[in-house]
Structure 1
Amino acid sequence: MRALLASLTILSAISLSSAAFAASTATGNIRDYNPQAMTLTLKNGTKFLLPGGFKDPGLKVGQRVAVTYQTMGDKRRATMVTPLVP
């Protein structure tokens, strides 16, 4: 019985920790893109931190994009930014 309970506890801990790092996606138009500060803000005010080594695919203010990100604390860390066709 203890082995079963221990196994269930470990399994639930793994499930919860992987859910905490699940990626989300947001779409919208760019309000501000600052390559020096490594930030991207959508018109709805959602702000993303871009990863080190981010390669700019030609982002421009007003352009529609999809941002894949992870939430860590109160910050949204982008893992991928994809320009969308209008």
Structure 2
Amino acid sequence: MRVVLASLTAATILLSSAGAFAAGMMTSGVVKSFDAKQSTLTLNDGTAYSLPKGFKDPGLKSGKKVELSWHMQDAKHAADTVKIIN
């Protein structure tokens, strides 16, 4: 009985952490560059994010502080949302 309970507990922990990882991450930073044609946003730390299709520019420009929700897609950072926080 203990073995079954321990196995179920371990499986629950692993599955819940995988679900949290898939949900995406949040980060904030300062815009280094924004390329609407290429749909990319680069922060001052050098991290580049691809923007979602249909992205509506909220007024992004160099020096603006932003908050992004993002996830990894094909070994690249893919932004889900971008919000100016200045």
Classify the TM-score, shorter chain: 0.7 to 0.9
Q: What amino acid is aligned across from residue 27 of structure 1 in structure 2?
A: S
Paired residues, number: 85
What is the SS of the residue equivalent to 2:60?
coil
The C-alpha deviation readout for 1:18-58, integer Å capped at 9, x for no partner, is 23312211111111100110000000001101000001001
Flag structure 1 segments of 5+ consecutive residues without an equivalent.
Answer: none
Alignment partner, residue 78 of structure 2: 77
Structure 2 length-normalised TM: 0.77
State the 1:63 CA deviation: 0.7
Aligned CA-pair RMSD: 2.2
After the TM superposition, which of the residue ranges 72-81 and 17-26 deviates more from structure 2?
Answer: 17-26
What is the SS of the residue equivalent to 1:28?
strand
State the 1:73 CA deviation: 3.9
Structure 1 length-normalised TM: 0.77
Q: What amino acid is aligned across from residue 60 of structure 1 in structure 2?
A: K
Matches within 5 A, 1:1-86: 14-15=15-16, 17-85=18-86
Percent of pairs with identical residues: 33
What is the rounded CA distance, in whole Å, between the counterparts of 1:61 and 1:54 in structure 2?
18
Q: What amino acid is aligned across from residue 69 of structure 1 in structure 2?
A: W
What is the rounded CA distance, in whole Å, between the counterparts of 1:63 and 1:15 in structure 2?
35
Flag structure 2 segments of 5+ consecutive residues without an equivalent.
Answer: none
What is the rounded CA distance, in whole Å, between the counterparts of 1:26 and 1:13 in structure 2?
24
